[in-house]
Amino acid sequence: MLHRDAQRGTYAGIVVVSGPSGVGKTTLCERLLKKERRLKACITATTRRPRKGEIDGKDYHFVTPAEFRRMIQKGELVEYVRLFDNYYGTPEQSLADIFERNRYPLLRIDVQGARRLKAKGYKGVYIFILPPDVKILLMRLKGRSGKSAGGELLKRFRKARTELRAKDEYDFQVVNDKLPQAVRDIQNILKRHLFKDRR
């Protein structure tokens, strides 16, 4: 299942994780990456400022708007979106590096980006992360370190509610209630639907 279709310029064997802001995607992905050596995080590019503790090249490639525009113009991004007044996009090079190492790329991207990759023919496992309920989602958003300012928080919460409506477009849904259980649920999905096809 892990391969590049050179003719179409697409990849098979990607793992996409989406879900509303604050649902726990970053936390879940970090845990998953520690347990699953076959996976590797696909580092995406963004024009947003780093949050406290975030490292350039590890959490994101933090770039200027001019640099991001250049990446778009040169066709270096397989998809990109504008979110919360910032741009986010997946560089083809980030995917290529992971495939070269024979690992499965883990992409933590939003609903629009996931739609775009699916429409382009990128094959793999598309997973949507759900909160146990909306109140808990708001609590997590508020509680996240490097707290968002009030306006920013409201924007993220509004978008979160819209994003939740896209859950049925995904192959799998995982509720992030207790973290260890959610990690196990994802591992089971990968075992059944991705790793079994390894060539």
Out of ligand 5GP, ligand ADP, none, what residue 4 binds, judged by CB under 5 to 8 A for its kind, is none
Helix or strand run (H / E) with residue 87: strand 86-91
Phi, psi (degrees; rounded to nearest 5) at 74: -85, 0
Distances (CA, A) of 86 to 2, 5, 7, 45: 32, 31, 32, 11
Smallest separation, CB 83 to ligand 5GP (Å): 5
Estimate to the nearest angstrom the gap between the alpha carbon of 21 and the chain centroid.
11
Q: Of 51 and 198, which has the nearer Cβ to ligand 5GP?
A: 51
CB-closest chain residue to ligand ADP: 24
Phi, psi (degrees; rounded to nearest 5) at 54: -80, 140
CA distance 55 to 71: 20
The residues that bridge with 5 in the sheet, in sequence order, are 10
Does residue 163 come out as left (phi exceeding 0), alpha (psi in the -120 to 50 range) or beta? alpha
Q: Which residues contact 47 (CB under 8 A, 6 or more apart)?
A: 62, 63, 64, 65, 68, 86, 87, 88
Count of residues in contact with ligand 5GP, rule CB under 6 A = 16
Site for ligand 5GP contains 61 (CB under 6 A): no
State the binding string over 97-136 for ligand 5GP (x if CB under 6 A, else -). Answer: -----------xxx-xx-----------------------
Site for ligand ADP contains 134 (CB under 6 A): no
CA distance 26 to 23: 9
Site for ligand 5GP contains 94 (CB under 6 A): no
Q: By CB under 6 A, which span of 41-49, 68-76, 126-134, 170-178 interacts with ligand 5GP? A: 41-49
Residues 60-119 contacting ligand ADP, CB under 6 A: none
Q: Of 40 and 156, which has the nearer Cβ to ligand ADP?
A: 156
Name the site residues for ligand 5GP (rule: CB under 6 A): 21, 25, 44, 46, 48, 79, 81, 83, 88-90, 108-110, 112-113
Name the site residues for ligand ADP (rule: CB under 6 A): 19, 21-27, 140, 143-144, 176, 178-179
